[in-house]
Amino acid sequence: SGILCFGAAVHRRIVDGELYGKSLSLAPWRECVTIVAGIAFGLIVHPNFPDNLSFLWTQILTIGVSTPFQHVILGQEWQPSEIGSFFSSFALWLIAAFVGIAGIFFAPKRPLDRNAARAITSFALLVAAFVALTIKSRRNAEYFAPVIAIWVSLIWEIVDVRELWRFFRYSPVGAGLSRPDSVCKPNRICVRRIASIVTGGKCGEGGTSPPLRIFLAVLIFVLFLKGPIAAYTTLHSPGYPDASFAVAMAPVSERANSGDRVFHSDWDEFPVLWNLDDRLKYVAGLDPTFLYQASSTLSDAYRDLTWGATTPTKEQAWEFINDKIGARFVFIAKSDHEKLLDFIKSDERYTPLVETEDAATFEVRPF
């Protein structure tokens, strides 16, 4: 909201030529204050107030902005986006935005809707901010997508599509719109001539050859399908099925009392384990950064032990699992933690409960 207000003020000052004071005073600050007040009210009346404030601080700033990769192993969605992947994922929106911007310069609707123009400038700043955030962390793509969709719709609201089409077909670059019957002179650079290199048509002629039209239609169709196909593949790729770890956790649930702690091998096991038994306490929650915020030394030690960054002795592992964590049970997923599993098996102080294809569980012997 603050960025949108600032963008509106910038547009009034630079584009409309208004004075600084008037540009700032006419920005939609009332709407911005209303939004901020609504957010504050919602946070205060939330049943988890004031704990939700520290939660949001960690989730938005510590994880989303600073992202402590050097201390915690986060999910792939928090990794930086590859530039090529970013542009291919949003290719259609970016193309629509660039063509629309060209339309604003060469074929704007008359009279110009000044409110829409200010909104476009404001959203341009918002789009730029989310481009930077998305390149830093691919998780932010879910916020960038609706922002650029709104921006594109605003851009095309003030573009005269018919005039833009005539311009691309007939107009020499920099010469403004020409009459429909005009043609490109041999010594003039024409947008239509440039387009003919790609489409196979001739300057001043309408349309493209049928094979090339089919090719372009298929290309656009493939670009449209790329996103849904990628989403389907992600949702149906091997992960944690609903029944994961159920057999391995069954004896733990039979023996455990409410509030007993389970030492588990990775933070992303937490949702599955909690779903199987929500009476128990687990080392890590939905994100490892919360453990890091609670105790950086404990978080680093947990990461090093579970991912084999160090080679602890049996006594060091016992001190961590039993003394520091106070765990009564140990859960090890086999997919990434075979080394840790072998280490726990070699210590007689952990009583084996069940070992399955995907996991193994142990009870910490009381002494």
Each residue's pLDDT tens digit, 221-262: 777 777 788 778 877 776 666 678 999 999 999 999 999 999
The reported pLDDT for the residue numbered 147 is: 94
Cα–Cα dist 175/190, whole Å: 10
pLDDT tens digit sequence for 289-348:
888 888 888 888 888 888 876 667 788 888 889 888 899 999 999 888 888 888 888 888
Of the candidates 322, 317, 285, the one whose C-alpha atom is nearest the C-alpha of residue 301 is 317
The reported pLDDT for the residue numbered 230 is: 77
pLDDT tens digit sequence for 95-115:
899 989 988 888 888 887 888
Cα–Cα dist 18/88, whole Å: 39
The pLDDT of residue 187 is above 50: no
The pLDDT of residue 16 is above 90: no
Contact 126, 84 (CB under 8 A): no
Quick one: CA dihedral 163, 169, 170, 175, positive or negative? positive
**For residue 208, what pLDDT band results from cuts at 50, 70 and 90?**
very low
Q: Phi first, then psi: what are they for 296, rounded to 5°? A: -65, -40
The reported pLDDT for the residue numbered 174 is: 42
The reported pLDDT for the residue numbered 136 is: 86
- Average the pLDDT over each of 5-19, 138-152, 177-191, 313-327 and give the range with the smallest value: 177-191
The reported pLDDT for the residue numbered 209 is: 53
Cα–Cα dist 307/301, whole Å: 10
The pLDDT of residue 205 is above 70: no
Cα–Cα dist 65/70, whole Å: 14
For the chain, what is the mean pLDDT? 82
Residue found by looking up tokens 């994961």 in the block: 244
The pLDDT of residue 90 is above 90: no
Contact 282, 261 (CB under 8 A): yes
Cα–Cα dist 249/270, whole Å: 12
Of the candidates 191, 202, 135, the one whose C-alpha atom is nearest the C-alpha of residue 166 is 191
Which ranges of the chain does DSSP label H, i.e. alpha helix?
2-14, 20-25, 29-45, 51-56, 83-89, 91-106, 114-136, 141-157, 161-170, 191-199, 210-235, 246-255, 270-276, 288-294, 296-307, 314-318, 338-345
